[in-house]
Amino acid sequence: MSNSRIYVDNSATTPMKKEVLTSMLPYFSEIYGNPSSVYAEGREARKAVELSREKVAKAIGAQPNEIFFTGSGTEADNWAIRMVARANKAKGNHIITTAVEHHAVLHTCQELEKDGFEVTYLPVDEFGMVSAEAVENAIKDTTVLITIMTANNEIGTIMPIKEIGAIAKQHGVIFHTDAVQAIGMIDIDVNDMNIDLLSLTGHKFHGPKGSGALYVRKGTKIGSFITGGAQERNKRAGTENVASIVGLGTAIELATSNISEKTAKLSKMRDYLINEILEKIPYTRLNGHRTQRLAGNTNISFEFIEGESLLLMLDMKGISASSGSACTSGSLDPSHVLLAIGLKHEIAHGSLRISLSEDNTMEEMDYIVNSLIEIVGKLRAMSPLYEKVSKGNA
């Protein structure tokens, strides 16, 4: 086991599937035409792009002409929020979101505040859940956009998207959801859920990095984000990244073809991991919702532990996980998500995210649990505070 690494950071990115790579390869060299060209090479590239568009549309219950390819999930979020805000300025300047969104959403909203928009950052409960009722109560005459993620990337909490979509529709407010973590894990139907805009990205479901898409419901008022040529029906200029788009199509088709089977396997491993850690290691707590939770997500806080030390020692044992404490290395700020669910700074700093994929095994879960028991024991043995507490005179 120690010879091969255990990768459990699938919420950060996933390895590309062989089938995905195979489907992409011809489009780097043999089929190199520009999809906008009218001759045979161009037409062949165009065909591949449109086939991929159909696959993405089918995966979320949309029409192909409602899918626009982007260079990332971040770009899709930026486009949706900025360009809906701008296009609907005459109606109002109010946006509703939550305190636990990805930075691609939060930082975009903060930018818009500088431009005179008013943003409501709804709080979440101790499990990371926003209530649909709170969303409804926040709506004003000036509200032009609700942007709330389908599932949280740090603690895995699945938001009541269908209820929020119904409320948005009832009040005539445009509803965007960042579904980056949800694709391939939750069945999504943009019509059933009344979603007007949806962001996704290939590399979170075994597709290529730098391949994303924005779904835009027909008739939604939104401007183009990147101006230039007429690609993507005048909405997103720049020659299409054909190979990447093909890979995105292959990956989303694979990822959404076996959701129930996959999530059954993942949640079994996840629940085993959670129960073992909470039972065998004292002073631990689960972050996020116990059941309304992404199938592969585990997020646990270890008291008296520095998350970064935990990560380094796991790395030495061949385990690649993520600390829940900082989104990007170099940042010492505790996670805004963990603070939003009410964790104290020191507890938030001792958090670990383990995010699984179909490639993981039960045997690996045992190795992770045993490694954690050993590492946490070692780190706590060096903590004067833990010594005090464990002797009962804290």
181 binds ligand PLP (CB under 6 A): yes
Q: Which of residues 309-348 bind ligand PLP (CB under 6 A)?
A: none
Closer residue to ligand PLP (CB): 190 or 214? 214
Q: What's the closest the beta carbon of residue 353 comes to ligand PLP, in angstroms?
A: 11
Is residue 322 within 8 A of residue 292, CB to CB? The reply is: no
Which range binds ligand PLP by CB under 6 A, 70-78, 164-172, 284-292, 335-343?
A: 70-78
The answer to the question of residue 360 lying near ligand PLP (CB under 6 A) is no
CA distance linking residue 159 with residue 165, whole number of Å: 11
Going by C-beta distance under 8 Å and a sequence separation of 6 or more, which residues neighbour residue 21?
A: 247
104 touches ligand PLP by CB under 6 A: yes
Residue closer to ligand PLP by CB (options 155, 369) is 155
Catalytic choice (12, 327, 339, 389):
327
What distance in Å separates the CA atoms of residue 372 and residue 108, rounded to the nearest whole number? 37
**Can residue 213 be called a binding residue for ligand PLP (CB under 6 A)?**
no
Query: Residue 333 in 3-state DSSP?
Result: coil
Assign 296 to helix, strand or coil: coil
- Asked if residue 293 binds ligand PLP (CB under 6 A), the reply is no
Secondary structure of residue 235 in the 3-state scheme: coil
User: Looking at beta carbons only, is 132 or 155 nearer to ligand PLP?
Assistant: 155
Using CA atoms, how far apart are residues 230 and 84, in angstroms rounded to an integer?
Answer: 20
The Cα 176–Cα 193 span in angstroms is 11
Find the part of the chain contacting ligand PLP (CB under 6 A) among 58-66, 69-77, 219-227, 256-264. 69-77
Residue count (the chain): 394
Instruction: Give me the least distance between CB of 1 and ligand PLP, in Å please.
Output: 29
Interface size with ligand PLP, residues (CB under 6 A): 14
Q: Which helix (H) or strand (E) holds 178?
A: strand 174-178
Tell me which of 139, 180, 281, 311 binds ligand PLP, using CB under 6 A: 180
| Identity of the residue, 321 or 369, whose beta carbon is nearer to ligand PLP in the bound complex | 321
In the complex, least distance from residue 121 CB atom to ligand PLP, rounded to whole angstroms: 16
Q: With binding defined as CB under 6 A, does residue 353 bind ligand PLP? A: no
In DSSP notation, 112-154 reads HHHTT-EEEEE---TTSPPPHHHHHHH--TTEEEEE--SB-TT
- x/- mask, ligand PLP, residues 130-149, rule CB under 6 A, reads -------------------x
Active site annotation includes 109: no
Which residue of 53, 102, 176, 206 would you call a contact of ligand PLP, by CB under 6 A?
102
SS3 content of the chain, % helix, strand, coil (to 5): 45, 15, 40
What is the distance between the alpha carbons of residues 348 and 345, in angstroms, rounded to a whole number?
5
Within residues 73-92, the interface with ligand PLP by CB under 6 A covers 73-74, 77
Tell me which residue of 52, 1, 43 sits closest to 24, measured CA to CA: 52
Question: Closest separation between CB of residue 181 and ligand PLP, Å?
Answer: 5
At 98, the amino acid letter reads T
Quick one: 91 exposed, middle or buried, by C-beta within 10 A (0-12, 13-18, 19+)? middle
Give dist(CA 87, CA 114) in Å, integer.
17
CB of 155 to ligand PLP, least distance (A): 11
Q: At 197, which amino acid appears? A: L
Instruction: Name residue 6's beta-bridge partners.
Output: 319
Which tokens belong to 351? 């958090």
- In the complex, which residue's CB is closest to ligand PLP? 73
Chain-centroid distance, C-alpha 174: 21
Which residue, 181, 187, 198, 201, is CA-closest to 251? 201
Establish if 212 lies at the interface with ligand PLP (CB under 6 A): yes
76 or 319, CB closer to ligand PLP? 76
Contact status: 297 vs ligand PLP (CB under 6 A): no
Among 47-55, 67-75, 325-333, 386-394, the segment contacting ligand PLP (CB under 6 A): 67-75
Q: How far is the CB of 291 from ligand PLP (least distance, A)?
A: 20
Tell me if 154 contacts ligand PLP by CB under 6 A. Answer: no
Judged by CB under 6 A, the chain residues 159 through 178 that form the site for ligand PLP are: 178
How many angstroms separate the CA atoms of 82 and 223, rounded? 9
Which residues contact ligand PLP by CB under 6 A?
72-74, 77, 102, 104, 149, 153, 178, 180-181, 201, 204, 212
Q: Annotated active-site positions, please?
A: 327
